[in-house]
Amino acid sequence: MSKNPTIIEHDNHEYIFEGFSLLSHYQLENVPVCKVIRFNIEYTIHFFEEKMPENFTLYNLYLSIYLYLSIYLSIYLSISVYIYIYLSIYLYLRLFIYIYIYLRLFIYIYLSQSVYIYISIYLSLFIYIYLSQSVYIYLSIYLSIYLSIYLSLFIYIYLSLSVYIYLSIYLSIYLSLSSLFISIYLSIYLSIYLSLFIYIYLSQSVYIYLSLSVCLYISISLRLFIYIYLSQTVYIYLSIYLSIYLS
């Protein structure tokens, strides 16, 4: 039995050929589902032409066409649904990637601002320490000038006392013995007083220089401590920033 619809002689075959021409017109003949539909239509035509009456065969033919077209449409719709799901997943992934990039940029900007704040604080502390050192230098210069003036006054007083001693000795020579003894006594007293004065002055000078040395040592120790503390703080924040950035 031939399966070619062109050799079938029937009055209602024009509807079937019209359906096949539509398949050819829309270039659906090579689609696997359409091939199956066409094959089943031809097979149904031959089967029902030999077994059933004419009206019954045509009715079943239309039912089979409707059935296979429904199957084709359901397959097409299922494919469309899968495509829609795939596109939705793709869009969600793109959105997630954009959100992830945005969050990384936000974290990077926030950490950059934090590092900038800590660096500014560190620079302000450094400037403060530098200004403190400048004040300390100016105070040292002021104290040195003050001590030099004080030393010059001391030398002047010492010379005055020396002149006074020499004058007293000179007067003691020209005066009587009593006056001589008195002048010698006064000179000895003044020399002892002068030696005590020199000793007190030297003690105070040594004390001042020791105080300045202790202050200098304390300031250097404080600077080293602040520097070590700030270095550790900057190192900790930089390590946290690098760990977050590299993660």
Distance CA 73, CA 31 (A): 13
Q: What are 69-93's pLDDT values in tens digits?
A: 767 776 777 777 778 888 888 888 8
Q: Domain tally for the chain?
A: 2
Asked whether the predicted pLDDT for residue 200 surpasses 50, the reply is yes
Is the domain of 136 the same as that of 14?
no
Q: What are 19-73's pLDDT values in tens digits?
A: 445 445 444 445 454 555 555 555 555 555 555 555 555 656 666 676 677 677 7
Distance CA 64, CA 142 (A): 116
Residue 113 lies in a domain: yes
Is the domain of 48 the same as that of 77?
yes
Is the domain of 116 the same as that of 236?
yes
Is the domain of 17 the same as that of 70?
yes
Residue 127 lies in a domain: yes
Provide the residue range defining the domain that includes 56.
Answer: 5-93
Is the domain of 30 the same as that of 137?
no
Structure tokens at 215: 């202050």
Residue 20 lies in a domain: yes
Is the domain of 33 the same as that of 137?
no
pLDDT at 23: 47
Is the domain of 81 the same as that of 130?
no
